[in-house]
Amino acid sequence: MALYPVVRKLLQKRVVLASASPRRQEILSNAGLRFEVVPSRFKEQLNKASFPTPYAYAMETAKQKALDVARRVHQKDLRAPDIVIGADTIVAVGGLILEKPMDKQDAYSMLSRLNGKEHSVFTGVAIIHCSYQDGRLDMEVSEFYEETLVKFSQLSEELLWEYIHSGEPMDKAGGYGIQALGGMLVEYVRGDFLNVVGFPLNHFCKKLAELYFPPRPENVQRVKHDSIPPVDTFEGLSDLSDVEGGGSSPAHSQQGHGTKDTHAKGTVAGLHSSALLEVIDGFKASKALFTASKMKVFDALGDGAPLSAVDVARKIDASEHGTGRLLDACAALGLLEKTHRGYRNTELASRYLRSDGEFSLHSLILHSDTHVWNLFTHLESAVREGTHQHPRALGSTADDPSQGTCRSQDQKLRCLGAMHGLSKLSAHQVATAFDLSQFTSACDLGGCTGALAHELAREYPGLKVTVFDLPEVIEDVKRFQPNGPQTEQVTFVPGDFFKDRLPEADLYILSRILHDWSDEKVHELLSRVSGSCKPGGCLLVAESTLDEEKQAARPGLLPSLDLLVQAQGRARSLSEYRHLLQAHGFTDVRAAGTGNIVDVILATRTEP
């Protein structure tokens, strides 16, 4: 399949590549394509865990990069490009999506996961056709992805570190570049070699031929964009020379390759019937995960050799038939690996689903099963009444809805474990979103088990952190404390942040607190923090946010419904948080995305 017949059709068109990658530029240039390079400024903050497959995430990221460039070029030049090409390459292994390492230690972690194993390299590609009609920019998007399987040899630590110290891994997805020194790590490749380099040229040529020489127009699936929502940020339109970024975080993984289209806005807009059926059946997937966690399936599998359904059934005291069906469901969800030898945990399951893991979400899953599930069965009542459903679902009449969730000691510990796991999930990203080394004291209001406080202590040895929470919370936090010298930097103080005097600190922290409360309570709390914070001090806020059109900023998160059913509060956009903080004397409000479940805002207290 040659690109040249299509190139002739593109000679008079303005083609823009939305990527700063020199490898993609070289591949397309060698194929004879003439194009401009405008790197995307799309902040890759999509929640990877919300996508059913790694390639779905890669295609959505590629699309958002291309849409960002198409819109910005049009605004800057008052002329739309004819075609914009976006691409995103990721590596997936055992349930984890790996992009570019953040540092050498991150590169080592990535390469260690790949060592001696076969993994998938996915590239999502978006081709945008732009037109300017009736005073507006219209865009049509065609998308596809390509998968290549790569196997690493079993490598020594000395060889891995030698490769890392070469500096080559730092701007490569998965921490290696197959076209250069990284080629020495690879035992074999199955599929398109150029896809591993960074761009699936063969598939791209076929897609262009399909678009420009279609045998049947009805076979070409494209999504029309009348207008594209901007990425939520406090920044305005910036210079086109800024480059695209990268990162890594866990996500569900399933294998597959071919052509697939995704959608313009959110996770439901533009759904095909098959995707709609997935939404309809979504509760079944949740219940399968809840049941497997409750029965400790992932604990039973451990990190050892694969086990048969009979072996697992014996360990969890269940029927062989029922256990086999549950294991198959978990494998279909990408939580388990199934081979002829039996079932085993994926990396994702070992890290997050075993009850004894450092980053275990086991308690959060059980809390969702026993508490959140019951609340959401009353969603219709919440919509009709506009109130949380604790009285109906749990018999709680407390002003603070959370007080109705922990009526026994077991329930209380499960709630604390759920909050601990959720906080651990984003603690590192929150602690490092901004450089906080200038602070010597911090107070984490409602800091619960201190997961964030201990992460701050690890990152900033000179920082003393006070966790300020209710007495009934503080009395049970000992079982959640880590080992290590940084524990001496963290102190727990009992108190109610609505009633008691707040501890003195240079930096106050409200992590996943404000969304739980009514506007009246939020203003009351911020007023108390403002009164305690000295001029020059700061407030750090971490929250899941909405975009500026009041849609969930991350696909798969439903903060508005969640808060309607469970709490008195509401989700807000970043600009709403900025205005809220400014109203209480905090200026120089800066925001940073974490690529995780929260965004982080740092605001400075000015003179009253």
- 491 Cβ contact list (under 8 Å, min separation 6): 464, 465, 466, 467
State how far the Cα of 232 lies from the Cα of 577, in Å rounded to an integer. Answer: 12
Q: Is 102 helix (H, G, I), strand (E, B) or coil?
A: coil
Q: Dump the DSSP string for 124-190.
A: EEEEEEEEEETTEEEEEEEEEEEEEEEEE----HHHHHHHHHTTGGGGSGGG--TTTGGGGGEEEEE
Q: How far apart are CA 512 and CA 120, in angstroms?
A: 35
Going from the C-alpha of 261 to that of each of 66, 144, 224, 272, 549, the distances in angstroms are 15, 7, 12, 10, 24
Q: Which residue's structure tokens are 């970024």?
A: 245
* Cβ proximity of 172 and 119 under 8 Å: no
Helix (H) / strand (E) containing 543: strand 538-543
Identify whether 328 is a catalytic site residue: no
Tokens of 450: 């201190």
CB-based contact 206:4 (threshold 8 Å): no
Query: In sequence order, which ranges of 377-450 are alpha helices (DSSP H)?
Result: 379-385, 390-394, 409-432
Nearest to 533 by CA among 450, 462, 602: 602
Distance CA 496, CA 445 (A): 9
- Triad 405, 410, 416: Cα angle to 5°: 60
Q: Are 405 and 412 in contact (CB under 8 A)?
A: no
By DSSP bridging, strand 342-345 and strand 336-339 are antiparallel
Question: Which of 459, 463, 511 lies closest to 488 in space, CA to CA?
Answer: 463
| Amino acid (1-letter code) at residue 168 | E
CB environment 118-148: b (16+ within 10 A), e (fewer): ebbbbbbbbbbbbeeeeeebebebbbbbbbb
E strands, 446-513, are 464-469, 490-494, 507-511
User: Rg of the chain's alpha carbons, rounded to an integer?
Assistant: 25
**Catalytic: which of 88, 232, 299, 547?**
88
Residue 356 burial (10 A CB sphere; 0-12, 13-18, 19+) = exposed
Total count of residues recorded for the chain = 608
What whole-number distance in Å separates Cα of residue 149 and Cα of residue 191? 6
Distance CA 604, CA 540 (A): 9
For residue 493, what is the DSSP state? E
- Look up tokens 């759920």; give the residue: 418
Residues that are catalytic: 88
